[in-house]
Structure 1
Amino acid sequence: MELSAFLAVRGGTATTAALQRAGFTRHDLTAGMDSGVVVRVRRGHYAQPDTTGAYGAAREIRGLLTCLSAAPGYGLWTLNPAEQLHLCMGHRTSPPDVIQHGRLLHPRHPNLPMVGLADVLLHALRCLPELEALVMVQCAVGRGDISLAFPRGRLSGNRNARSRAVLDLVIPRADSLLEVLANVAFVRAGLSVRRHVEVPGVGEVDFLVEDVVIVETDGATHLEPYQVKKDRRRNNAAVIGGYLVLRFSYDDVVYHPERMVTQVRALIDIWRRGDFRS
């Protein structure tokens, strides 16, 4: 593997020790710096010349990314990008603009300057707002990267009650973070919800609320022409089958969940009163 390719798979940076273990010699590093393929960030650390962002910053500060800052490295769902670096610094003092997390309890990432997935999730549960932590955990659990029992078993005691409450919101299956958030909104509103229901003539729907309203949560793929046509056919089939249908976008679910719930409730009330126009 070429030096540039090796650095690329490690987030653009690597230590001298890691490079040497991979078979790169001092001559390779010198040649790489002479050709502009690599730059020395500081003693014992090298990077691609255009490396910026969290990985480079973590190497520079000599910390390990965790919590929200490590989510992209593990491909976890997030609601918002990290505005500050979340780092594990060991016994070192972190810079004032860094959110410092506790010590590592599990093996770190083998290549990238990040803590292991288990620590990422534990730190997120203790640090982030409820729903931001929830979508990260839901993603990891849903993919089978970690069991729900694993973090729960490490969050005992009164001080971790809030984190355990977040774990209680994880559902067996969610195809998108929108489903996770919509489910929380409906359940907390006291609505009866069934998820991933197979409706004859329609197929599987995201939610069936009060056995009356089909609710679909539409991410970016639902804006593609083919999907728009498919969704229209499904809507028509659902209405002909006697169901009511509401569709909500990312903006609706993430930023206006109360409005979404209000509209679902309003449609259910209209159905119960029999007030549809004839």
Structure 2
Amino acid sequence: MHPFPPDACRALGGVAKAGDLRAAGCTSRGLRASVASGELLRPRLGTYALPGTSDLAMRALGVGGLLACVSAARSLGLWTLDDGEGSNPHVWIAPTRNTSREVLDGCRIHRDTLIDPPRGPSVGIVDVLRQLLRCHGIETFFTALESALRQGILGRRASERLRRAIPREHRWLVDFARSDADSGLESLLRLRLHAIGMTLAPQVEIPGVGRVDFVVGDCLILETDGATHEGAGRHRDLVRDAVAMSLGFITLRFDYAMIVHEWELVELAVVGALARNRHRSDLGLRIEAEAARKRRS
């Protein structure tokens, strides 16, 4: 009995060539019937995809390529900085493939040799991140890297392959990355403050307050506010800040617009607090020591 073509396509990652589907036992008649019924899409002659494949991915497949770089990162749900590119997809095309400029019009083309074999409508995660570094720079790469680690998309072995694949001067970013960043704002804040020589303790549990994004020194809390910090969430934040203050902590809170577009102000605020020793407190030290004792017990 021949396999159901959509099931065979799903087993091959959601995108498959006609030859691979036939090798899996599908017939040409079955493929035609699945396309006619809408159970399979055919973005290009000889290429099949499952319904639900994004429009950008269909466009990449339609020109004989795969979704790449920042477009692939977003399709995977990775946190990326807004580059204003809108609907123009980044598309990987095999270096040996000849494709006319007219066909590729509006696409950002990548013709690099892939590290990992692709599966599905996008290049693999190692290649996504490698392309991000080359195309968009350190900050976009790092925020997406920590997002991939957080979501479990990038495992230990893939991290090792990524480290080997990127230029030597950037490999420290893979070593510096953590898997517990709740958002790209946290990643960006930590990276930028590291660049000016500042060390942050991330994801610190403070008794009576809860988990905070960062602590600098003994008692300076840094919090990043995303889209969830509105309405009732905003009230909870204010309560946390008040409790933290009663315990001897000072909180500096920054939102997306400040971190991304008004960084100079953020840096001045943090550096100014340190210059006035707002991050030093005997009370803060005692609270942290008590928290460490509870973790050990």
Shorter-chain TM range is: 0.7 to 0.9
Aligned AA (1:210) = G
What is the one-letter code of the residue matched to 2:123? V
Corresponding position of 1:152: 163
Counterpart secondary structure, 1:220: coil
Task: Choose which of 227, 243, 258 in structure 2 pairs with 1:237.
Answer: 243
Distance 1:14 1:205 in 2: 45
Distance 2:252 2:130 in 1: 36
Aligned counterpart in structure 2 of residue 77 of structure 1, from 64, 76, 79: 79
Relative distance call for 1:9 and 1:268 in structure 2 (3 A) is farther
Which residue is 1:57 aligned to?
59
Identical aligned residues as a percent = 33
- Asked if residue 132 in structure 1 is aligned to residue 143 in structure 2, the reply is no
CA pair 172-209 structure 1, distance change in 2 beyond 3 A = same
Amino acid at match of 2:223: E
Q: 1:204 to 1:59 in 2, by over 3 A?
A: same
1:93 aligned onto 2:133: no
Deviation larger for 253-262 or 143-152: 143-152
Instruction: Name the SS for the 2:243 alignment partner.
Output: helix
2:234 to 228, 232, 253: 228
Q: Partner letter of residue 108 of structure 1? A: P
CA separation of 1:2/1:217 partners in 2, compared to 1, >3 Å: closer, same or farther? farther
Distance 1:104 1:268, change over 3 A: closer
> Once the 2 structures are TM-superposed, how far is the Cα of residue 133 of structure 1 from its aligned partner?
0.9
User: Structure 1 residues 99 and 41 mapped into 2: Cα distance closer, same or farther (>3 Å)?
Assistant: closer
Partner AA of 1:248 in structure 2: F
Report the alpha carbon displacement of residue 58 of structure 1 after superposing the two structures with TM: 1.9
Given candidates 106, 115, 122, the residue that maps to 1:114 is 122
Q: Distance in 1 between matches of 2:144 and 2:245?
A: 35
TM-score norm. by structure 1 comes to 0.78
Q: Tell me the amino acid that sits aligned with residue 153 of structure 1.
A: R
- For the residue of structure 2 that corresponds to 1:223, the secondary structure is coil
Q: Give 1:19 deviation, angstroms.
A: 4.8
Q: Quick one: distance in 2 between partners of 1:51 and 1:196?
A: 36
- Asked whether the 8 Å contact 2:149–2:178 carries over to 1, the reply is no
Alignment deviations for residues 85-140 of structure 1 (CA, whole Å, 9 cap, x no partner): 2314241135464322311222221xx12222222222323332110111122222
Q: Secondary structure at the match of 2:91?
A: strand
- Residues 182, 51 of structure 1: CA spacing in aligned structure 2 closer, same or farther, 3 A cutoff? closer
Q: TM-score, normalised by structure 2?
A: 0.73
Pairwise mapping of residues 204-223 of structure 1 onto structure 2 (< 5 A)? 204-223=211-230
Residue 189 of structure 1 deviates from its aligned partner by 3.0
Identify the residue that residue 191 of structure 2 maps to in structure 1: 184
For residues 264 and 7 of structure 1, do their structure 2 counterparts lie closer, same or farther at Cα, with a shift above 3 Å needed? same
The answer as to whether partners of 1:125 and 1:166 remain within 8 angstroms in 2 is: no
Separation in 2 of the partners of 1:163 and 1:270? 34
Partner secondary structure for residue 71 of structure 1: helix
RMSD: 3.3
For residues 214 and 69 of structure 2, what CA distance do their matches in structure 1 show? Answer: 30
Instruction: Tell me, yes or no, if the aligned pair for 1:142 and 1:174 is still in contact at 8 Å.
Output: yes
* Kept after mapping to 1: 8 A contact 2:143/2:184: yes
Rate the CA distance shift 1:221–1:6 in 2: closer, same or farther, 3 A.
farther
